[in-house]
Structure formats: structure tokens, C-alpha cells
Amino acid sequence: MVYDLNTSKCKGMLLVVVVLFLVCSSAYGQNNEVSQLQILGTKRTKISFIEKLVTLKKGMELDSVVMDQDILRLKKLPSISHAYYKVNLLPSDQCVVQYVVEENFTLIPFANLFSSSNDNFAFRVGLQEFNSFGQNITLGAFYQYDNYSSFGVSVRAPYLVTSKLGLALNYNNFTTLEPVFFENDTADYRYSNTGFELLALYEFNLFNRMEFGFSFFTEDYAYVDGATSADVPLNLNVDKHLFKFIYDYNGLDYYYHYLDGFRSQLNFQYVGSTDDNLPEFLIGFNDFTFFKRIGDRGNWANRLRLGLASNVDSPFAPFTVDNNLNIRGVGNTIDRGTAMIVLNTEYRQTIIEKNKFVLQGNFFIDGGTWRNPAGGFDDLWKSENLRIYPGVGLRFMHKRIFNAIFRIDYGYGITKDGDNGIVFGIGQYF
């Protein structure tokens, strides 16, 4: 069929098409101005704090990319469990944007309890407020018993100075019973570490931040029992200083207790000493973490930790093999080294999720290897330095209380001289 564009019917159809095209072009091409930004849902978090933190401001052009990034930044705050935005269009190409937040309860007690078949029972308990003064300032204190008593206090204010610059201050007084390894034998020392740390915190953008600072502290070693050596003193009291640099790339997306994405955290330190028995050294390690949502209720979690330190011939090497740091079930500080490779992988499955309560189960494999003090990199491939611990665990969670995850893990060693044990704690293992 052939249409004559000169007929009145065809002219009418053409006019309708042109009008519809112009209306659609106008609707999609117009620039809406934000006439008002409303923050809804806050109870303890100051609205002025959120307004300082987000990029979208009154008078700006409506931009979904900016709003998506603002929402992600809000969800990364300890005080907020979830956030989303609404846009209400007004006449004259204006709009009202609403940022709606769901707040966490942020005054959180915490506990780490750990034991293995050959270890004494040890624990750490404390209290942290993650949203002090409604400004997402963290105040915390802890008490630890691991053969001896320890305590510490901390203040962390990442947005104290500006929306990108903050400070952190820590004071710790640690005392533990530490094994010291030398000449194929072991001794136990009473180890104390007392000092303070000051850090500057800077956030480049939504994904990248850094920390830089220093600490002054004193280390004290006192022989308790076990083997002795003429080359290893029975008592040491050494003043030290430390410079620290941390770079954190955080590309994770958060949906309540589910994580998705990649994160890399670099920690580099120089430790100076006033005693050759505890010589100065450099130490650095990087945590690479990757999370993947599996369906609606599954989460695959992975952490690869690579560490390297000055390869000094000292029984007090900086990297340790420990229940609470890297290998669940292995015991409390059972070995030391000057380099390490550790891989933790686990699958987390939500079993029950009702309103605010979540029960999650997981099965994991923790594996790692260490370089002996003054050893070669080939130590990393030797079977006697390799430890592999599969295991299972449970997580009891509250969706509206920050980091309210009580975990129980049981790890069983399948490599040579493998141990087994239960590790309790608050928060995911990584």
C-alpha cells in the first residue's frame, strides 16, 4: 500500500508523530534542578553530618550517578544499615530528592573467645560506640585475658576535620604469654607491649583512602619456662618507634550482611629499635578480599594475605600463626616467620532470615605457609611449614545492630601435626 503524504489523513498522522517526538525529547533532555535535599530516617546520626558527607547539594543538576555514589557511601558508614533515594518531580524543571536511611544500633559490646586442644582458654571483651555525637566517631575500650590481663582504648574520627580528613588515636597495654622458637626448641616468655599510636585518615574518594602515622611503644620480654640459649636473652626491655602507612581500595557493595566486589588493603610499617636483640625491620602485607553473591541467600568470601618482612635471624619474628589472625583451629601463636602466604575461603549460606534476625552457616578452608627467620623463600613451599584447616561454623546476626555477628568456627588440621579447635568472635572472620 502506498501513502500519499499530501492527503489530510497522512498529514495528521505525521503531525502526531512529530509532536510525540518533541514531547519525548523534551522529557528526556530536560535538566531537573534539585530544589531541596531531604534526609529521612535519622535518629542519632546528625543530618548536618550526612549533608557534609554527600556530594549532591541543593541547586545542582539531578544526576543518578552522583546519587548512586552517595547511597553507597552512606551504606559504608557504621551507623547505617541500608539507604536508598527517592525523587519527586516538581513544576518548572525542579525536583525534591530524599535520601532515606535505616540506622544501625551502634553501641556494641564485643567478645573474642578462643581455645584449642592444647591451649588455655583466652578471651577479649570490650565496648564500642560507632556513632558518637552523631558524627560516626568510634570510641572503644577492651579488656583481654590471655594468661595475663591487657587493656586498650581508642578513638577514630574519620571525618573530624573535613568530609575527607580525620584522626585516630589508640593506647594499648598488652601482656600475653608468647612462645619463642629457636634451635628446634621453644621457650615461653611473658610479653608486654605498651604504647600509643596517632594516625591521620584521608579519603580520596568513594573507593580509595589512606592512613599515615606513628607510634611509640615499649616491648618487654621476661623468660618464664622452657628451653634457653646463650644467644637469646632471658629478659629484654626495648623502646621502639613505628611509622605506618595504610592504603585501602574498597570496591565492595553492601546489602545488609551480604557483600559483593573486591577490596585491597595494603599495610606497610617501619619499626625502629634501641636494642640489637630486637633489631629494626620493615614489614608489609596486603589483604586481597573478593566477595560474590550466590543467589539470594549465598555469599562466597575469599581473602588472600601476602606478607613480607626483613629476614632477620631472630626468635621474635613478626608474622605469627594464630587462631584469631589467619588459621582457625591452629592454636594461639604456635609459630613465627618473616614471610607468609595465607588463603581463607568460605561459603556463607543464610539458613533463617526473619525480620531483623539472621542465622547463617558456613564451611571454610584456611591454608597458609611461612618463611622461617633467616630462611629462604623456598621455605614457603616446604610441607613442614604448610598448614591447611577445613572447618564449619555458624553466624548469629542482627540486621540493625552494626557488626552484630556472633560467630563460632571449628577448624580441623589435615596437614602434619595438625591441631583442632573452636574460635568464637564478634563480626565475620574477614
CB atoms within 10 A of CB 376: 12
| Number of structural domains found in the chain | 2
What CATH code is carried by the domain that includes residue 289? 2.40.160.50
278-288: pLDDT as tens digits: 889 999 999 99
3-state helix, strand, coil in the chain (%, to 5): 10, 60, 30
Higher-pLDDT residue of 112 and 200 is: 200
Higher-pLDDT residue of 244 and 30 is: 244
Kindly state whether residue 342 falls inside one of the protein's structural domains. yes
Give the pLDDT confidence score for residue 314 in this predicted structure.
79
> Please, which pLDDT band fits residue 20 given cuts at 50, 70 and 90?
very low
Please indicate, yes or no, whether residues 114 and 22 belong to a single structural domain of this protein: no
Please indicate, yes or no, whether residues 89 and 156 belong to a single structural domain of this protein: no
pLDDT at 51 over 50: yes
* 3-class DSSP state of 381: helix
Please indicate, yes or no, whether residues 75 and 143 belong to a single structural domain of this protein: no
Burial grade of 86 (CB within 10 A; 0-12, 13-18, 19 or more): exposed
Which of 65-69, 320-324, 329-333 ranks highest by mean pLDDT? Answer: 65-69
Question: Which among 70, 65, 101 has a CA at the least distance from the CA of 83?
Answer: 101
Q: How many CA atoms lie within 13 A of 248 on its CB side?
A: 13
Domain that holds residue 44: 14-103
Cell 611503644, residue located: 217
CB contact at 8 A, 96 and 119:
no
Please indicate, yes or no, whether residues 310 and 225 belong to a single structural domain of this protein: yes
Mean pLDDT of the chain: 89
pLDDT at 30 over 70: no
pLDDT at 28 over 60: no
Q: What is the DSSP letter of 142?
A: E
pLDDT at 346 over 60: yes
Question: Which among 112, 101, 110, 168 has a CA at the least distance from the CA of 141?
Answer: 110
Q: Which of 50, 76, 103 is the last residue of a domain?
A: 103
Between CA 104 and CA 101 the distance in angstroms is: 10
Between CA 177 and CA 191 the distance in angstroms is: 6
pLDDT at 401 over 50: yes
Higher-pLDDT residue of 119 and 80 is: 80
Distance (Å) of CA 6 to CA 11, 18, 385? 7, 16, 89
Q: Which of 78, 103, 128 is the last residue of a domain?
A: 103
pLDDT at 94 over 70: yes
pLDDT at 124 over 70: yes
> Please, which pLDDT band fits residue 19 given cuts at 50, 70 and 90?
very low
This prediction has a pTM of: 0.80
In the chain, DSSP finds a helix count (H) and a strand count (E) of: 3, 22
Please indicate, yes or no, whether residues 21 and 169 belong to a single structural domain of this protein: no
Burial grade of 306 (CB within 10 A; 0-12, 13-18, 19 or more): middle
Question: Which among 314, 339, 340 has a CA at the least distance from the CA of 327?
Answer: 340
Please indicate, yes or no, whether residues 319 and 345 belong to a single structural domain of this protein: yes
What CATH code is carried by the domain that includes residue 25? 3.10.20.310
Which residues neighbour 376 within 8 Å (Cβ) at sequence distance 6 or greater? none
Give the pLDDT confidence score for residue 21 in this predicted structure.
43
Please indicate, yes or no, whether residues 223 and 206 belong to a single structural domain of this protein: yes
> Please, which pLDDT band fits residue 115 given cuts at 50, 70 and 90?
low
Higher-pLDDT residue of 292 and 177 is: 292
CB contact at 8 A, 419 and 408:
no
Cell 492527503, residue located: 7
Please indicate, yes or no, whether residues 149 and 23 belong to a single structural domain of this protein: no
The alpha carbon dihedral of 288, 353, 70, 163 has a sign of: negative
* 3-class DSSP state of 26: helix
Kindly state whether residue 298 falls inside one of the protein's structural domains. yes
Between CA 319 and CA 339 the distance in angstroms is: 7
The alpha carbon dihedral of 184, 176, 194, 341 has a sign of: positive
Between CA 360 and CA 347 the distance in angstroms is: 10
